[in-house]
Amino acid sequence: MDLSPPNTAATAAEPSVLEWTHRFKALGPRFFTALHPTPLAAPRWAAKNEVLRAELAWPDEVFDDEHLHALAGNALMRGSEPMATVYSGHQFGQWAGQLGDGRAIWLGEAASAQGPQEIQLKGAGRTPYSRGGDGRAVLRSSIREYLCSEAMHGLGIPTTRALSLVASPEPVRREEIETAAVVARVAPSFLRFGHFEHFSAQGDTESLRALADHAIAHHLPQCHERAALWQGNVYAALLDEVQERTAKLLAQWQAVGFCHGVMNTDNMSLLGLTLDYGPFQFMDGFNPGHICNHSDHQGRYAYGRQPNVAYWNLYCLAQSIAPLIDDQDLTLAVLEGYKTLFPQALGDAMRAKLGLAGALAPESEREGDWKLVEDLMQLMATEQVDFTLFWRQLSQAMVQQGKAHTQQPETPMDLAHWATVTDLVLDRPALWAWLERYSARAGRENFAAMGVQMLRTNPKFVLRNHLAETAIRQAKLGDFSEIETLHNLLKSPFDEHPGFEAYADLPPDWANQLEISCSS
Ligand code: AMP
Ligand code: MG
């Protein structure tokens, strides 16, 4: 391993089509180290995210040859001021001490149609926080991060975004020799719980306060108003804001069957974004105990535990900013909010999956609806029914049933009409009994409208491991086209995309053997 100091040599001055600001840098040198990315051999575009570029109204030139070098870390965009930031954190429940951007280099904030966006080059070389790591990211994990960022966005789930993916033949040693890649990722802020834990652990309250003030001023100004709910305490309001965003994020993850895999506090975004895509997985068969990270021997981050882990992580954040809130009772009271907010958000999300959201579901019926959800989940768990397929088939069946009912309102319901749903389970009597309860709750005259709504809520396409794996295998042979195909499906996962049915199918047998390594 190359243990030379991180690269501080000036790289060639280069293109300037973005307008940069550097508000984080105003915090001062305790928060970061200025340094340049390490050049990457023979970079080549593996993916350019035209959708994101257009959303941000960044010019075409962002994807020209000069920018290929800039987004690979071989040249600097004029006006950018690269740096790596320091943070700490709890990993797998243990205090891990100082971590920091070990391989992500911040270029600064670029003005965009959606406000200033921070850009990071992930895999752009060693930093003072690399702790013996090589500062690189392999093509395999970079493809997964690129695609999953955009898949989450397509699903309407808050996430960091991915602007580009640059591949290189440069060898990188993991379990075997792989090749390097750099993802340019984009977010309004990459602040993590761990940034706060860092200064708290150092007992540096002055820096802690500066960091919190920075976050409030530039990213969460609504905290000033929210402080009215918390005795005028703006730091309590900050915790409350993060608590609410995290609760809502977790509800969305659970509702779509997403397992993050490494919910360490340093991977938790202050803005409630999905952050740091590693061994994540969209579940195939539904199993609340599902563990997607093969290094997670205790199952700390199993699917069903994610909401509690998020609470635990919020507790860590609360402890770290407690000196700012300066009122223990108030701090605990803010945290309590999660215990009502998360179940409420999950309840709403699951009811929406059943088409029972909105006007069709008066407040008084929430409890009964939740029982309906629980019983269905129990049934699905017993047989590990395919999560995505089940909800999608249920949505389709509702549309079909709705049509049939409009044509012949008097015809009784027939089990055969639900075949696409009941075919997914062995215990058909149990599912049939559930379907009868569900139908009675919904009212058959509402099926058609509910079905349409459900098709906008239950995706046809998610980034299953085997889909990513196929794109990875082809990319390793130099063919990046499957990345684009997947991106096209995943950016609008609720659309039918005729001709691409195979991408919505059950995973093939070989997918069972896939072990998603934590190494990246
Ligand atoms: P992660 O588990 O990916 O969230 O990373 C945990 C910590 O290890 C962070 O500080 C990362 O920056 C750092 N890290 C992970 N992989 C590498 C690498 N290949 N080189 C340097 N630092 C790394
Ligand atoms: Mg991380």
Q: Which ligand is nearest to the CA of 87?
A: 1
Atom index in ligand 1 nearest the CA of residue 135 equals 20
- Ligand 2 is an ion; its neighbours by CB within 5 Å are 267, 276
Q: Would you state the pLDDT for residue 1? A: 34
The amino acid present at 72, given as its one-letter code, is: A
- Other Cβ atoms less than 10 A from the Cβ of 157: the count is 18
Both tokens of 517, joined, read 């390594």
Atom index in ligand 1 nearest the CA of residue 132 equals 21
Distance 194 CA to ligand 2 centre (A): 10
Q: Would you state the pLDDT for residue 411? A: 83
Rounded to two decimals, the pTM is 0.96
Question: Residue by residue, what is the 3-state secondary structure of 83-112?
Answer: EEECCEEEECCEEEEECCCCCEEEEEEECC
Can you tell me the distance from the alpha carbon of 205 to that of 208, in angstroms, rounded to the nearest whole number? 5
Ligand 1 pocket, CB under 6 A: 99-103, 129-130, 133-136, 262, 267, 276, 278
Distance 278 CA to ligand 2 centre (A): 8
Testing ligand 1's pocket by substitution, the residue of 90, 126, 129 carrying the most ligand atoms inside 8 A of its CB is 129
Q: Would you state the pLDDT for residue 519? A: 86
Q: Which of 134, 240, 266, 296 is catalytic?
A: 266
Q: Which ligand is nearest to the CA of 190?
A: 2
Q: Where are the domains of the chain?
A: 3-190, 194-353, 363-455
**Annotated catalytic residue 266:** yes
Can you tell me the distance from the alpha carbon of 293 to that of 315, in angstroms, rounded to the nearest whole number? 23
The amino acid present at 281, given as its one-letter code, is: Q
Q: Would you state the pLDDT for residue 332? A: 98
Testing ligand 1's pocket by substitution, the residue of 83, 105, 141, 266 carrying the most ligand atoms inside 8 A of its CB is 266
Across the chain, which distance is largest between two alpha carbons, in Å?
A: 79
Q: Would you state the pLDDT for residue 358? A: 64
pLDDT in tens for each of the 520 residues of the chain?
333 445 545 455 567 899 999 999 999 999 999 999 999 999 999 999 999 999 999 999 999 999 999 999 999 999 999 999 999 999 999 999 999 999 999 999 999 999 999 999 999 999 999 999 999 999 999 999 999 999 999 999 999 999 999 999 999 999 999 999 999 999 999 999 999 999 999 999 999 999 999 999 999 999 999 999 999 999 999 999 999 999 999 999 999 999 999 999 999 999 999 999 999 999 999 999 999 999 999 999 999 999 999 999 999 999 999 999 999 999 999 999 999 999 999 999 999 999 998 645 566 778 899 999 999 999 999 999 999 999 999 999 999 999 988 898 888 888 888 999 999 999 999 999 999 999 999 999 999 999 999 999 999 999 999 999 999 999 999 999 999 999 999 999 999 999 999 999 999 998 888 877 778 9
Atom index in ligand 1 nearest the CA of residue 276 equals 4
CA–CA distances in Å: residue 315 to residues 44, 97, 246, 337: 43, 17, 12, 12
Can you tell me the distance from the alpha carbon of 180 to that of 452, in angstroms, rounded to the nearest whole number? 43
Testing ligand 1's pocket by substitution, the residue of 127, 131, 295, 516 carrying the most ligand atoms inside 8 A of its CB is 131
Distance 277 CA to ligand 2 centre (A): 8
Q: Would you state the pLDDT for residue 186? A: 98
CA 133 to chain CA centroid, nearest Å = 24
Distance 123 CA to ligand 2 centre (A): 12
Q: Would you state the pLDDT for residue 313? A: 98
Distance 267 CA to ligand 2 centre (A): 5
Q: Would you state the pLDDT for residue 3? A: 36
Question: Residue by residue, what is the 3-state secondary structure of 290-320?
Answer: CCCCCCCCCCCCCHHHHHHHHHHHHHHHHHH
